[in-house]
Amino acid sequence: MIDIKLIRENKDLVKENIKKKFQDEKIPLVDEVYDLDVKVRELKNKGDNLRSEKNNVSSEIGALMRDKNIEEANKKKERVAEINKELVDIEEEEDKINAEIKQKMMIIPNIIDDSVPIGKDDSENVEVERFGEPVVPKYEIPYHADIIASFNGLDKESAGRTSGEGFYYLMGDIARLHEAMLAYARDYMIDQGFTYAIPPFMIHGDVVNGVMSFKEMEAMMYKIEGEDLYLIGTSEHSMIGKFKDQIIKKSDLPITMTSYSPCFRKEGGSHGLEERGLYRVHQFEKQEMIVICDPKDSMEWYNKMWKFSVDIFRHFNIPVRQLECCSGDLADLKVKSCDIEAWSPRQQKYFEVCSCSTLGDAQARRLGIRAKGEDGTYYVHTLNNTVVATPRGLIALIENNYNEDGSITVPEVLRPYMGGKEKLVPIKK
Rounded distance between C-alpha atoms, residue 266 and residue 425, angstroms:
34
pLDDT computed for residue 64 by the predictor: 83
Count CA atoms closer than 13 A to 178's CA, side-chain side: 20
pLDDT computed for residue 270 by the predictor: 43
pLDDT computed for residue 76 by the predictor: 87
Rounded distance between C-alpha atoms, residue 326 and residue 124, angstroms:
6
CA geometry: angle at 19 spanning 23 and 103, to 5°? Answer: 50
Rounded distance between C-alpha atoms, residue 345 and residue 348, angstroms:
5
Residue 260: phi and psi, rounded to 5, are -100, 145
What is the residue-level pLDDT of the chain in tens, covering all 429 positions? 899 999 999 999 999 999 999 999 999 999 999 999 999 999 999 999 999 998 888 888 878 888 788 888 888 888 899 999 999 999 999 999 999 999 999 999 999 999 999 999 999 999 999 999 999 999 999 999 999 999 999 999 999 999 998 899 999 999 999 999 999 999 999 999 999 999 999 999 999 999 987 777 777 899 999 999 999 999 999 999 999 999 999 999 999 999 999 999 987 544 555 567 898 899 999 999 999 999 999 999 999 999 999 999 999 999 999 999 999 999 999 999 999 999 999 999 999 999 999 999 999 999 999 999 988 999 999 999 999 999 899 999 999 999 999 999 999 999 999 999 999 999 976
Q: Are 264 and 231 in contact (CB under 8 A)?
A: yes
Collapsing DSSP to helix, strand or coil, 275 comes out as coil
C-alpha to C-alpha distances, 362 to 112, 213, 312, 320, 379, nearest whole angstrom: 11, 11, 29, 30, 9
Q: Are 124 and 328 in contact (CB under 8 A)?
A: yes
Rounded distance between C-alpha atoms, residue 51 and residue 38, angstroms:
20
Rounded distance between C-alpha atoms, residue 410 and residue 402, angstroms:
9
Amino acid letter, 40: V
pLDDT computed for residue 219 by the predictor: 78
**Sequence-ordered list of residues with C-beta below 8 angstroms from that of 111, at least 6 positions apart, any chain:** 2, 6, 13, 14, 17, 335, 360
DSSP-derived letter for residue 418 is G
Rounded distance between C-alpha atoms, residue 259 and residue 236, angstroms:
8
Rounded distance between C-alpha atoms, residue 297 and residue 254, angstroms:
9
pTM here is 0.90
- Domains and their CATH numbers in the chain: 4-105 (1.10.287.40), 122-424 (3.30.930.10)
**Sequence-ordered list of residues with C-beta below 8 angstroms from that of 332, at least 6 positions apart, any chain:** 21, 107, 108, 109, 110, 213, 215, 216
pLDDT computed for residue 275 by the predictor: 64
**Sequence-ordered list of residues with C-beta below 8 angstroms from that of 220, at least 6 positions apart, any chain:** 212, 233, 265, 266
Residues in the chain: 429
C-alpha to C-alpha distances, 239 to 171, 190, 200, 260, 305, nearest whole angstrom: 29, 16, 9, 10, 16
Collapsing DSSP to helix, strand or coil, 212 comes out as coil
Following CA atoms 284, 349, 305, 357 in sequence, which dihedral angle do they give, to the nearest 10 degrees?
A: -70
Q: Which helix (H) or strand (E) holds 283?
A: strand 283-293
The arrangement of strands across the sheet holding 381-390 comes to: 126-131, 320-324, 336-344, 349-358, 381-390, 283-293, 255-264, 195-197
Rounded distance between C-alpha atoms, residue 36 and residue 97, angstroms:
7
Collapsing DSSP to helix, strand or coil, 117 comes out as coil
Residue 127: phi and psi, rounded to 5, are -70, 130
Q: Which helix (H) or strand (E) holds 180?
A: helix 172-191
Q: Could you tell me which of 336, 181, 335 has the C-alpha nearest to residue 322?
A: 336
